[in-house]
């Protein structure tokens, strides 16, 4: 782009170059030198460089005084001015000839002939300008049609569903919904829990599957909580909630969860609602929001709890650090 900008600054009209040709070349250099600027700014730059390309300072001054709004208007003014200047030059030459030769009847024929030539040149220039303006209007119409909103949307392809004709906010694909909700917890952990579901679904305090657990209590009821950094939300098993509901709230009084809760394999979990509960871990009481759902462990200590209370999981030492306190974790089942 620096090369094209240098060419623009150094560009001057050649002796054999017409004004429309100069204007087209200036426009091409501006598009190459400033590809990202808005169209109106390009027009201003092209107009200024076109005027600066004139060899005659008088012509530059007169075109600037005309205050053209765009390059096409500057080219039109320049063509008219050039025709007038040529006419004046020829008339000046005729006047000098008359003074040198005195009265001569043949001069009338010569002057008339030269004036006819000037008028013919002006007509040719006007026709050339009309052709250029017509071509520019046609190009503008094609460009507007090509980049209209309707045509653009028809050709748009949304990368999640792979279908044409709509954008992300209009996509109704189930794939789009699933991609916006990440795995609730590790798929391997979910699969191992299902293997033990027949023995654990109806027993409060019996934990199925494998993982790292901590001992805790909610409203005086002792439970084992699965520490899962892959779960974005802490969850309490419905059977546990039923045991403590007399001290907290009923299912009907639970706050609604505003978005779907999915398992690692993207299957929706049955969620009854959410509420704030005091979770006691190693004699520390931590108020946290938990969802009540059908799961196969007593409770899941999710990422929301760990972030809220600065929790750090050290799997090598089997320790959960909550702020300045270290809680021992219990490894259960076969991992890996």
Query: Domain check: are 142 and 224 in the same one?
Result: no
Query: Domain check: are 73 and 200 in the same one?
Result: no
CB 166 within 8 A of CB 156: yes
pLDDT, mean of residues 286-304: 90
**Domain that residue 107 falls in:** 2-147
Residue 202 scores a pLDDT above 70: no
Q: Given the DSSP bridges, would you call strands 235-237 and 284-293 parallel, antiparallel or unpaired?
A: parallel
Query: How open is the CA angle 158-162-163, to the nearest 5 degrees?
Result: 80
Query: Domain check: are 140 and 247 in the same one?
Result: no
Q: Read off the pLDDT of residues 8-61 as tens digits, 9 standing for 90 and up.
A: 888 888 888 888 898 899 999 989 988 888 988 989 998 898 888 888 888 888
Phi and psi (nearest 5°) for 290? -130, 150
Query: Domain check: are 307 and 252 in the same one?
Result: yes
pTM for the predicted model, two decimal places: 0.39
Dist CA 335 CA 200 (whole Å): 19
Q: What is the pLDDT of residue 53?
A: 87
Total domains in the chain come to 3
CA torsion, points 279, 285, 289, 294, in degrees to nearest 10? 0
Query: Domain check: are 198 and 172 in the same one?
Result: no
Strand pairing partners for 215? 224
Query: Domain check: are 231 and 273 in the same one?
Result: yes
Query: Domain check: are 83 and 133 in the same one?
Result: yes
| pLDDT band per the 50, 70, 90 thresholds, residue 168 | low
Phi and psi (nearest 5°) for 45? -60, -45
Burial class (CB in 10 A: 0-12, 13-18, 19+), 169: exposed
Query: Domain check: are 141 and 154 in the same one?
Result: no
Query: Domain check: are 85 and 7 in the same one?
Result: yes
Query: Domain check: are 132 and 175 in the same one?
Result: no
Residue 146 scores a pLDDT above 80: no
| pLDDT band per the 50, 70, 90 thresholds, residue 196 | very low
Q: Read off the pLDDT of residues 2-19 as tens digits, 9 standing for 90 and up.
A: 888 888 888 888 888 888
Question: Is the model more confident about 328 or about 88?
Answer: 328
Query: Domain check: are 13 and 112 in the same one?
Result: yes
Mean pLDDT of the chain: 78
Burial class (CB in 10 A: 0-12, 13-18, 19+), 173: middle
């Amino acid at each position: 782009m620096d090369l094209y900008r240098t060419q623009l600054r150094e560009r001057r009209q050649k002796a054999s170059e017409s004004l429309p040709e100069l204007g087209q070349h200036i426009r091409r250099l501006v598009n190459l030198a400033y590809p990202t600027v808005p169209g109106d700014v390009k027009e201003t730059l092209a107009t200024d460089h076109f005027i600066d390309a004139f060899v005659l300072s008088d012509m530059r001054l007169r075109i600037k005084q005309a205050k053209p709004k765009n390059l096409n208007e500057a080219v039109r003014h320049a063509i008219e001015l050039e025709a007038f200047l040529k006419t004046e030059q020829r008339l000046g030459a005729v006047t000098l000839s008359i003074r040198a030769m005195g009265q001569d009847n043949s001069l009338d024929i010569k002057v008339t002939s030269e004036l006819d030539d000037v008028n013919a040149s002006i007509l040719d220039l006007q026709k050339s300008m009309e052709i250029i303006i017509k071509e520019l209007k046609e190009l503008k119409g094609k460009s507007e049609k090509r980049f209209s909103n309707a045509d653009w949307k028809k050709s748009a392809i949304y990368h999640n569903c792979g279908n044409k004709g709509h954008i992300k906010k209009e996509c109704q694909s189930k794939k789009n919904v699933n991609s916006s909700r990440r795995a609730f917890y590790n798929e391997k952990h979910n699969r191992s829990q299902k293997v033990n579901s027949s023995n654990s679904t109806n027993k409060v305090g019996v934990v199925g599957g494998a993982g790292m657990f901590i001992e805790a209590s909610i409203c005086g009821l002792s439970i084992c909580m699965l520490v899962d950094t892959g779960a974005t939300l802490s969850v309490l098993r419905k059977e546990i909630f039923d045991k403590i509901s007399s001290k907290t709230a009923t299912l009907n009084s639970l706050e609604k969860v505003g978005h779907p809760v999915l398992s690692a394999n993207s299957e929706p979990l049955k969620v009854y609602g959410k509420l704030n509960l005091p979770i006691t871990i190693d004699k520390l009481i931590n108020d946290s929001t938990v969802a009540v759902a059908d799961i196969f462990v007593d409770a899941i200590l999710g990422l929301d709890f760990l972030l809220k209370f600065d929790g750090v999981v050290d799997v090598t030492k089997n320790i959960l650090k909550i702020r300045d306190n270290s809680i021992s974790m219990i490894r259960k089942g076969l991992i890996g």
